[in-house]
Amino acid sequence: MNTRDTIAAISTPPGSGGLGIIRLSGPQAREIAAAILRLHPNHEWIPWRITHAHLLDEDGAPVDEVLVSFFAAPRSYTAEDVVEISCHGSPVILRHCVARALRAGARAAEPGEFTLRAYLNGRIDLPRAEAVRDLIHATTLYQARVAAQQLEGSVSRAVAPVKTALVELISLLEAGIDFAEDDVEVASSAEIDSRLAAVLDGLGRLLASYSWGKYVHEGLTLAIVGRPNAGKSSLFNALLGEDRAIVTDIPGTTRDTVSEAFSLEGVPVRLVDTAGIRESTDLVERLGIERTERAMADADITLVVLDLSQPLEEADRVLLGRTENMGWRVVVGNKCDLPRRLAEPLEEIAVSARTGERIEDLKRLLVARIAPEGIAAPQSGLITSARHEALLREAQEAAQKAREANALGLPHELLLLDCYAALRPLDALTGATTADDILNRIFSTFCIGK
């Protein structure tokens, strides 16, 4: 992909809107804009100023009245010259504007190419580029807050102290090897161990934030299962806060899975109501039950609903048995507003889907399950990306190996290999450490005297 040409694209979503924006980025941005617009005869390209203009068709007739903003390199989104043309939001006008820009010498931008350029031009690092994508796709405000913090560099900031500690250790080991004859003190095994322990501690903390961060990013699926009439659809509605699924006193009301999105403390949740599980000869009901099975297999968390106002039935026992070893099961006793007739104390929480009693407690319990460490503040540099998690884990393994090598008293040359192996994935995460970084540290922290 050429990264020196000028690219153009519609930056607003498809369909009609009040406004639509065309973005041009690259060395010819101004030239191309001038070719397709009628600007004021005395127009000058003054950075960060908005000017009024007309968008013209091929025959030079105006097709829209537009506002044009100019961002001069390197202080723009892409760090190149950027011109944004704010048109009225008709898809016809927007497509026409891009088509004309292409004829005037622009190239159609690939998906994400503006952000790619910002990255290639060194304006943002990789975690920030990824945050742009997450911000655009946020479906809850909490997700947006986390992504906005990442755009500000929260991930790189959180990783930086670990990386610094590692680079310091590497410099120490390198210096010990390179300048051994010059009476530079070689680091003691205890000192190396405590430095590696600090690195591992930092990595462990970052990785722990992923247990919640993963759900912030990907959301989760919560399936409600139980025998007919246990109150699954009622619980579904109570959690959503709206009458979405049909509720009747006829067992077997829900025949198909019904799903709806809601936000659990900012985590996007897909809530799935299912057909009650029982032996059935009815074809439609049997097909519904098959779908319940699939929903259970796909769910991150399964809510098993028991009817507290009825004795336990065979169908309940079967379901409890089948979900017992699923890590993410919550047994909910429903209808706590009625006299209790369920003898066994099987439920983890008793609620009433009808009155809404303890539904908020149930939500809190679910949050506690997915965030055992508590909900992270968006600015804490929480890890939400599987790519980051994999890299941190790789660093952790290598640092662990280094610690073991140190405990065994292996030569520092070998230890260094593990330390570099731990540094590499962190570099891949936030950007490279150069040999200069290490040399500078060696020469700034040691008085070699040469």
Ligand X SMILES: Nc1nc2c(ncn2[C@@H]2O[C@H](COP(=O)(O)OP(=O)(O)OP(=O)(O)O)[C@@H](O)[C@H]2O)c(=O)[nH]1
What residues line the site for Mg ion (CB under 5 A)? 232-233, 253-254
Shortest Å, Cβ 370 to ligand X:
24
430 interface partner picked from ligand X, Mg ion, none, CB below 5 to 8 A per type: none
385 interface partner picked from ligand X, Mg ion, none, CB below 5 to 8 A per type: none
248 interface partner picked from Mg ion, ligand X, none, CB below 5 to 8 A per type: ligand X
CB burial of residue 50 (10 Å; 0-12, 13-18, 19+): exposed
74 cis-preceded (ω within 30 degrees of 0): yes
Of 233 and 385, CB closest to ligand X: 233
249 interface partner picked from ligand X, Mg ion, none, CB below 5 to 8 A per type: ligand X
Shortest Å, Cβ 253 to Mg ion:
5
Shortest Å, Cβ 339 to ligand X:
10
- Four-residue CA torsion sign, 2, 8, 9, 11: positive
Shortest Å, Cβ 254 to Mg ion:
3
Shortest Å, Cβ 235 to Mg ion:
9
For the chain, how are helix, strand and coil distributed in percent, rounded to 5? Answer: 45, 15, 35
Binding region for ligand X (CB under 6 A): 226, 228-234, 247-249, 251-254, 275-276, 334-335, 337-338, 352-354
Of 276 and 381, CB closest to ligand X: 276
Shortest Å, Cβ 285 to Mg ion:
12
234 interface partner picked from ligand X, Mg ion, none, CB below 5 to 8 A per type: ligand X
Of 263 and 280, CB closest to ligand X: 280
293 interface partner picked from ligand X, Mg ion, none, CB below 5 to 8 A per type: none
Q: What is the rounded CA–CA span in Å between residue 235 and residue 331?
A: 13
251 interface partner picked from Mg ion, ligand X, none, CB below 5 to 8 A per type: ligand X
Q: What is the rounded CA–CA span in Å between residue 224 and residue 227?
A: 10
CB burial of residue 182 (10 Å; 0-12, 13-18, 19+): exposed
Q: What is the rounded CA–CA span in Å between residue 371 and residue 383?
A: 13
Q: Look at residues 259, 270, 293 and name the one whose alpha carbon lies nearest to residue 220.
A: 270
Of 275 and 382, CB closest to ligand X: 275
Of 78 and 254, CB closest to Mg ion: 254
Of 149 and 334, CB closest to ligand X: 334
352 interface partner picked from Mg ion, ligand X, none, CB below 5 to 8 A per type: ligand X
Query: Phi/psi of residue 107, each to 5°?
Result: -115, 145
CB 430 within 8 A of CB 160: yes
* 3-class DSSP assignment, residue 24: strand
* 3-class DSSP assignment, residue 110: coil
Shortest Å, Cβ 291 to Mg ion:
13
Of 150 and 233, CB closest to Mg ion: 233
Amino acid (1-letter code) at residue 72: A
Of 273 and 418, CB closest to Mg ion: 273
Which residue sits closest to ligand X, CB atoms considered?
276
Of 194 and 355, CB closest to ligand X: 355
CB 188 within 8 A of CB 173: no
Shortest Å, Cβ 281 to ligand X:
16
Shortest Å, Cβ 314 to Mg ion:
19
Distance of CA 360 to the CA centre of its chain: 26
**Would you state the structure tokens that stand for residue 53, as one six-digit string?**
């203009």
Shortest Å, Cβ 351 to ligand X:
7
Of 178 and 282, CB closest to Mg ion: 282
354 interface partner picked from ligand X, Mg ion, none, CB below 5 to 8 A per type: ligand X
Q: Look at residues 161, 216, 220, 219 and name the one whose alpha carbon lies nearest to residue 382.
A: 216
Q: What is the rounded CA–CA span in Å between residue 27 and residue 196?
A: 47
For 308-327, b where at least 16 C-beta lie within 10 A, e where not — what string? bbbebbebbeebbebbeeee
403 interface partner picked from ligand X, Mg ion, none, CB below 5 to 8 A per type: none
- Let me know the angle formed at the C-alpha of 306 by 300 and 309, rounded to the nearest 5 degrees: 160
